[in-house]
Structure 1
Amino acid sequence: FNLLPKLTAYENVELPLIYRNVPHKERKKSVEESLRLVGLEDRMHHRPSELSGGQQQRVAIARAIAGSPPLLLADEPTGALDSKTGIEVMDKMKELNALGHTIIIITHDLSIAEQAKRVIRIQDGRIVEDRGSRA
């Protein structure tokens, strides 16, 4: 999840915003809101070693959404997680999508792909299937 082990969840989410020179007050609001959206407001002062794999994944998601990007890329977002935590992470992805975030998930897991509104299947570098919403 590329979290810095010496930083808390809050600090891991905040760091990219510091690099972007986001003012402190705006940064604080964005970090807290992002951690709340992924259900980690009560764990924000914990370091990665004090968090489960699913919680670490959700910190990474919070870090990705804190800057309000127009597009989120998620490469195998549940690949290293147990099935229960994978379900939780996908539920969060769906919630974020419902809030207006465009999310592209790259996966080999058909059960994950089936949860998407649109699926584009690529084989040997060519699109072989494109099904679902185009809105």
Structure 2
Amino acid sequence: MIITSVLSPSLIKEDNTGLDNLFFWERGRNSDLGVQAVDTSGNLIGNFLKLDRKNQANAGYSIDTLEISNAQQVGSWGVSLKELGVTSLAGIRLTANGSYNGPDFKVAARQSVPEPATILGLGVVAGLGLLRRRRCN
């Protein structure tokens, strides 16, 4: 199984906080997952990483579904852009083969966003510009 997802509308970029990561959760803590970065043209870039089931951290909760008879623990991995060997990415390619044991996973990316004060400041500047323009007309 190969899944390629291109993120939109912006790139995930390296930042100086050390929190430029992708986060993966896997139900059952019994499967592996392959991941590699993708650029804006859809080309594979950086390092291929195999997220090994033995290296999953315990996410601290379980999920119970109808397909199995009891709740399963959820495991997690965090992958930095540095580990992927890139400074930015537009998407990721996820892979699994028969030996990976059919991962049941979720993924999220952390991307820095402007501080609320910055957004508020930009809003004030835009508002003042509109008021000034209105007075000139």
User: Larger radius of gyration, structure 1 or 2?
Assistant: 2
The answer to which structure has the higher strand fraction is: 2
Per residue, is there more helix in 1 or in 2? 1
TM-score in terms of structure 2 length: 0.23
Q: Which has the higher contact order (CA 8 A, sep 6+)?
A: 2
